């Protein structure tokens, strides 16, 4: 299966040591982070994810590990 662009963005962010996690509540997403992240991961997020449309940002967020219980 071919990786989507949003999956590649999320995987690269995590590979760089990013700690953000997605919280899903009533089908709304938000990002949580309890730890400082490496500067590379933070810069990657700001440059490659925050510049996307809100809908595409949400797709990337959904590729992150979740804090919700299964």
Instruction: Summarize pLDDT for 47-63 with one digit per residue, the tens.
Output: 999 999 999 999 999 99
Q: What is the distance, to the nearest Å, from the Cα of residue 46 to the centroid of all Cα atoms in its chain?
A: 11
Beta bridge partners of 30: 23
Could you report the per-residue pLDDT of 1-59, keeping only the tens digit for each?
567 999 999 999 999 999 999 999 888 888 888 889 999 999 999 999 999 999 999 99
Q: What is the pTM of this model?
A: 0.88
**Contact criterion met (CB below 8 Å) for 52 and 63:** no
């Amino acid at each position: 299966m071919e990786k989507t662009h949003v999956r590649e963005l999320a995987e690269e962010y995590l590979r760089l040591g990013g700690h953000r996690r997605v919280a899903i509540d009533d089908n709304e997403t938000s990002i949580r982070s309890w730890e400082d992240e490496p500067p590379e991961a933070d810069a990657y997020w700001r440059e490659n994810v925050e510049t996307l449309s809100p809908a595409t940002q949400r797709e990337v967020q959904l590729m992150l590990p979740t804090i919700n219980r299964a």
